Structure 1
Amino acid sequence: MAEEIIVAGWMDYEPADRDTMLKALVELGRHTREQEPGCLDYAMTADPTDERRIRVFEHWTCRQALDEHFSTTHIKDFRAAVAGLTRVEVSLTAHTVAASQPLR
Structure 2
Amino acid sequence: MAEEVIVAGWMDYDPKDRDRMLEHLVVLGHLTRQEEPGCLDYAMTADPGSEQRIRVYERWASEQALDEHFTTQHIKDFRAAVAGLTRVGVSLRAYTVASSRAMR
Quick one: which amino acid aligns to residue 29 of structure 1?
G
Kindly report which structure 2 residues correspond to 1:1-104, keeping only aligned pairs within 5 A, or say none.
1-104=1-104
Offset, 1:98: 0.4
Tell me the matched-pair count.
104
User: Aligned to 2:26, what secondary structure does the other structure show?
Assistant: helix
Q: Name stretches of at least 5 consecutive residues in structure 1 with no aligned partner.
A: none
Offset, 1:57: 0.1
Offset, 1:49: 0.4
Distance 2:49 2:8 in 1: 18
Q: Name stretches of at least 5 consecutive residues in structure 2 with no aligned partner.
A: none
TM-score, scaled relative to structure 2: 1.00
Report % sequence identity.
73
Q: Deviations over 1:48-77 (max 9, x none)?
A: 000000000000000000000000000000
Offset, 1:35: 0.1
Q: CA RMSD in A?
A: 0.3
Distance 2:78 2:71 in 1: 11
Offset, 1:45: 0.1
Offset, 1:17: 0.1
User: Aligned to 2:10, what secondary structure does the other structure show?
Assistant: strand
Q: Deviations over 1:22-57 (max 9, x none)?
A: 000000000000000000000000000000000000
